[in-house]
Structure 1
Amino acid sequence: MRGPATRRLISLDARGELTTGHVRLVASCLAASERTVWRWLARARADGHSERQPRKAFTLTDDLLAHLALLGGNCARLHRELVAQERAGGSAAPSRRTLYRAVNRALTPGEKAGIRKGERARRRFDVHLRRPTDGEGHHRNAIWEGDHVEMPVKVDVDGHLRKPWVTWFIDCATDAVCGLAITPTYPNRASVLAALRASIMRDDRYGPFGGVPAAVRIDRGRDFLSTTVGAALGRFAVLVGELPGYHPHLKGRVEALNGAVQTMHCKSLPHYTGQATELNGAPIDPDAPALLFEDFVELLLDWVREWNVDLPKPALAGRTPLQAWQDDAWPVDDIPAKDLRLFMLEDDGRVRTITGDGISWRSRMYVGPWMTGKGNAGRKVRLRYMPHHDHEIEVFDAVTGRHLGPADLSDQASKQQVAAVLASRRTASKRVKQILKAAAKKRRVRYAAVTQAEPPRVLGALTSEEASAELQQAEQGERPLPVNPDLIPLRPPAAGWVLPRPPQQTPAPEQDDQS
């Protein structure tokens, strides 16, 4: 307030109305001495500046900022280099404190973090606005947010420890988890469709939440942006808001849910990946039995019920999602389960014919109980199916579009056969990895350590005999195999074959005796 106060006193002085009482009053209000205020007035009369003039200080140039970024934000090293330049006859170097003050004036905390560790570190200092509590997304089913999240827990999946993935949708107005789908490995578009179907259906698994949303917010994940998911949402006239990647604050509701399930639920489960460790980084109880996949799913569903029914949320004025949903009078659009299941399937796009063996799809035969006894052979049909669920398809009449029924894989292998095939594949993959590891070990080149600047020296001595043997073996591997037609004698030709005539031999010309 120095500037406005000084200008007011100058105007009083210009009219001859300035008194000591005015100066004393301004000094008491600005927490300054009366002598200081008189000094401000004297300086303003002398040079016309009523504001405080900044002191001449050392400032960072663009070149110094670029060099600081090159050094990874290391101000101490930058100061040492400036001192070295001064000793070599360059310009005077500032003190370390002066350099640090100049850096703090030129860069914000976020910019300094970005220079040290990159854009992800800089974004931690960003300020994000809260979404308004009224307007868009205020009522239930106005906007959903969907996401994939990897659970930080290793569970037993067919004898192997894997971290499952969860795909779920949350209602932004009530913070209710409308539905989810869990996969033992990385999810795909089928996981999104399963979670979407579970979210729209209203049953007792998650509470009364569900229905058709007006819009869905998702990031630019390839599974959410697939043609199948877009077509499934488009059939119900659901708007899809595609958010840019690596911007989690734009879908804060589901990101908060992702963090809550890790801190509130996963930390208490065995084989939690973020648990406390020993001094060497080893887990405290590495032999603890892991949860079976089905047990993990059951515990997660229980936590979702607790989240929806029992946990009050500060954003909901202390209400639970269930109470917020019941207090909302906005109408809910429901879809019959049969229609919803069919709308979530992919269209094959081809017309096929039912034969005596069933329906051929992807070089496999599918049959259904509705095909037998009704003369369906020769009927033209079209197929719909869930992505990656090739054990079952849905069959529709190609002319009327009427749903005829499901068809299952006719010669589906048993669980024991599938397990044996997977074990055989793992054994073959393990053998290939061992061969590649041995080849990489032979290909590895080791160099001697040096204590001074000199060319690198290769380690690993070979005798001349070993080198010759290895080169000869490599040459034999590149040489084509010899052809030996006499190894297996040919059979005589059949009686009806026409054999080629032998070439006629022309007599050699007589040589001249004089030649």
Structure 2
Amino acid sequence: MNRQVSAEQRTATVARLLQLRQAGTLTGEHVRLAAAGHGVAARTVRRWLHRGDQQQRAARPEWHRLSDTDREAYAYFRGNVAALARARAAVVAGESRAAGVPVPQFLIDGWAGAAPAALRTLQRAFAEQMTPAERAYWKTGEAGRRAADTYLQRPWTPRNQVWELDHKLLPILLLPRRGGAVQPWLTSVIDDGTRALLGWAITLTPSTATVLTALRMALTHEPDRGPFGAVPAHTRIDRGLEFAAEAVTDALAALVVGQHRLPGFTPHLKGKIERIHLTIEQTLLGGLPGYTHGPRDAAGRLHGPLSDRARDRENADTAAVRPMRLERFVTDYFAPWVAWYNTERPHSMIGGLTPLQAWNEDPAALHRVDERLLRHLLLAGEDKKVGPYGIRHNKLDYTAPELHGRGGQIVQIRYMPHDDRRIEVYAGGEHLCTAYPQGQLTDAQRDEFRRHAKDEAKRLAAARRRASRQARTVLAPLSDGQTGEAETRLVARADADQAGRRRDDEALRRRASTSLLGLVEPYALPPGQTYPKPTDENGR
């Protein structure tokens, strides 16, 4: 029965039979033996021997050697050998034009006196004398060269020693809180040794805040998410400005974490996180509505009810079928997918283990940090002015009792991106308070706000009265030369003045209340005196 014979096996058989022929000892038994070894007919082996194709190709002299001009022409024509052959034939024939187009002068000078070569000869020469990566580079550019290139694998690292960070534009249409449908950005942090997805953040645009959010999740140990959450030794990042921001570098430096910045446009140097992003697209996004890498019709529109055209994105809120809300995608789809990936999906590059199993089986020591210390360290920050309604942030007014009396002061706030529930407020480098949006305050928080306002007013009033008494005490001796008696007299006079003001305020209050009915309360008379009786116009 015939079976597949490789070129190497056939070449070896033909070479041996040719040796026997040259020695004069080749017989039919040798041919039948070779045929039985390959599972083919004897006449097939005789045809191999007769043609001697592999032996002749190996012994064939080099029939065309590519010159430097040939290689330059290959680059000039972007890998189009047919166009190169036409230009070369025209130059060899003494012409300066090929297919009606002038041939560049440097090719005319380089091909001067060259021997003619057919198109097929040139095609075989380029295929044999140039590497696939070199040919792909001139045809499709750097992406083609990298696809045909080979790389060194990074050495294995223990768990939580090296993290890779990167951004990814998710190919899916989602509806944010405001505006039309968009494609959100994913900022992710993975562990190099176990392939675990430790931290992530999904936002409309990548920023320093999203990087800090993903890092905070990766550093925080939460039993609900598994045993993950510890301080790494190094991080591997690209040239994205968000990763090199001062807030990120300062936070990592405070935790004594080194940063390794990769050269620009080298995604293959962080291939593990690039592979996870591809897994997200293949296993999660490809089955959801709004997937922008799905099939399209002849006009370029996506199949299905959703469209990624700019006009349709603006009208997404009024469309019959709307994209998924961003919040729902995060809570109902992406977060469960991360849990499945970390705990259930086996990975071929870590021996068929899941990231959770690889993490638990690794004995490398973990260095954890108290979550309370990370709370303020890994939050995005900016300077804000305290206004009459608190601190304005993301079109919301945040307030707290501790902000009383700080109108116009510049403070620093720290916050989680796209988390409007609270912000942390700092003044002079010290934590001042946690502020909440006014529209989301509970009754207890409102009562605390009013109570704090009253207490603050009382405190300031008491301080003002105390300062006034101290000022009078200091200034009185300068006016009449008396000390102790003047102080006693000033204090008594101040108390009497205050008591008189209270009596006047009480009388004014009574008159104001009775005047609403058209009545006027009489003035108070000294003791022993009475008001005269009312009389008519005649004095009766």
Structural mapping, 1:25-424, within 5 Å: 32-34=18-20, 36=22, 55-88=61-94, 91-133=114-156, 137=157, 139-157=158-176, 158=178, 160-183=180-203, 185-204=204-223, 206-287=225-306, 288-298=321-331, 299-345=333-379, 367-372=399-404, 383-386=412-415, 394-396=424-426, 398=428, 402-407=430-435
Question: Whole-Å Cα distance in 1 between the matches of residues 77 and 18 of structure 2?
Answer: 44
Which secondary structure state, in structure 2, belongs to the residue aligned with residue 300 of structure 1?
helix
Question: Whole-Å Cα distance in 1 between the matches of residues 328 and 392 of structure 2?
Answer: 37
- Tell me by how many angstroms 1:58 deviates: 1.9
Conserved in 2, the CA contact under 8 Å of 1:309 and 1:321?
yes
- Tell me by how many angstroms 1:166 deviates: 0.8
Residue equivalent to 1:6 = none
> Residues 119 and 370 from structure 1, CA distance in 2 versus in 1: closer, same or farther, beyond 3 angstroms?
same
Q: Deviations over 1:451-480 (max 9, x none)?
A: xxxxxxxxxxxxxxxxxxxxxxxxxxxxxx
- Code of the residue aligned with 2:71 in structure 1: it is L
- Tell me by how many angstroms 1:78 deviates: 1.4
Question: Whole-Å Cα distance in 2 between the matches of residues 132 and 250 of structure 1?
Answer: 13
- Tell me by how many angstroms 1:334 deviates: 2.1
Question: Whole-Å Cα distance in 2 between the matches of residues 221 and 121 of structure 1?
Answer: 24
Question: Whole-Å Cα distance in 2 between the matches of residues 162 and 215 of structure 1?
Answer: 34
- Tell me by how many angstroms 1:223 deviates: 0.7
Q: How many residues align?
A: 361
- Code of the residue aligned with 2:195 in structure 1: it is D
Q: Deviations over 1:417-446 (max 9, x none)?
A: xxxxxxxxxxxxxxxxxxxxxxxxxxxxxx
Which secondary structure state, in structure 2, belongs to the residue aligned with residue 286 of structure 1?
coil
> Residues 77 and 356 from structure 1, CA distance in 2 versus in 1: closer, same or farther, beyond 3 angstroms?
closer
Conserved in 2, the CA contact under 8 Å of 1:109 and 1:125?
yes
> Residues 330 and 388 from structure 1, CA distance in 2 versus in 1: closer, same or farther, beyond 3 angstroms?
closer
**Please, what TM-score do these two structures have when normalized by structure 2?**
0.59
Structural mapping, 1:493-504, within 5 Å: none
- Tell me by how many angstroms 1:359 deviates: 7.9
What is the CA RMSD across the aligned residues, in angstroms? Answer: 3.6
Conserved in 2, the CA contact under 8 Å of 1:383 and 1:396?
yes
Q: Which moved more, 1:275-284 or 1:164-173?
A: 275-284
Conserved in 2, the CA contact under 8 Å of 1:189 and 1:387?
no
> Residues 402 and 116 from structure 1, CA distance in 2 versus in 1: closer, same or farther, beyond 3 angstroms?
closer
- Code of the residue aligned with 2:327 in structure 1: it is E
Which protein is bigger by CA-based radius of gyration? Answer: 2
**Please, what TM-score do these two structures have when normalized by structure 1?**
0.62
- Code of the residue aligned with 2:183 in structure 1: it is K
Which secondary structure state, in structure 2, belongs to the residue aligned with residue 329 of structure 1?
coil
Which secondary structure state, in structure 2, belongs to the residue aligned with residue 168 of structure 1?
strand
- Code of the residue aligned with 1:303 in structure 2: it is W
- Tell me by how many angstroms 1:380 deviates: 9.5
Question: Whole-Å Cα distance in 2 between the matches of residues 270 and 377 of structure 1?
Answer: 49
- Code of the residue aligned with 1:383 in structure 2: it is Q
Question: Whole-Å Cα distance in 1 between the matches of residues 402 and 284 of structure 2?
Answer: 46
Conserved in 1, the CA contact under 8 Å of 2:213 and 2:417?
no
Q: Deviations over 1:211-234 (max 9, x none)?
A: 111111111111111111111111
Which secondary structure state, in structure 2, belongs to the residue aligned with residue 221 of structure 1?
coil
- Tell me by how many angstroms 1:402 deviates: 4.4
Question: Whole-Å Cα distance in 2 between the matches of residues 359 and 322 of structure 1?
Answer: 42
Conserved in 2, the CA contact under 8 Å of 1:27 and 1:33?
no
Conserved in 1, the CA contact under 8 Å of 2:400 and 2:434?
yes
Which secondary structure state, in structure 2, belongs to the residue aligned with residue 385 of structure 1?
strand
Q: Which moved more, 1:337-346 or 1:308-317?
A: 337-346
- Code of the residue aligned with 1:247 in structure 2: it is T
- Code of the residue aligned with 2:369 in structure 1: it is I
- Tell me by how many angstroms 1:28 deviates: 10
Question: Whole-Å Cα distance in 2 between the matches of residues 143 and 84 of structure 1?
Answer: 59
Which secondary structure state, in structure 1, belongs to the residue aligned with residue 225 of structure 2?
coil
Question: Whole-Å Cα distance in 1 between the matches of residues 397 and 352 of structure 2?
Answer: 56
> Residues 329 and 87 from structure 1, CA distance in 2 versus in 1: closer, same or farther, beyond 3 angstroms?
closer
Which secondary structure state, in structure 2, belongs to the residue aligned with residue 259 of structure 1?
helix
For structure 2, the residue ranges without an aligned partner over 5 or more in a row are 1-11, 25-57, 96-112, 307-320, 441-540
- Tell me by how many angstroms 1:141 deviates: 0.9
Which secondary structure state, in structure 2, belongs to the residue aligned with residue 281 of structure 1?
coil
> Residues 37 and 271 from structure 1, CA distance in 2 versus in 1: closer, same or farther, beyond 3 angstroms?
farther
Question: Whole-Å Cα distance in 1 between the matches of residues 264 and 328 of structure 2?
Answer: 33
> Residues 402 and 79 from structure 1, CA distance in 2 versus in 1: closer, same or farther, beyond 3 angstroms?
closer
Which secondary structure state, in structure 1, belongs to the residue aligned with residue 213 of structure 2?
helix
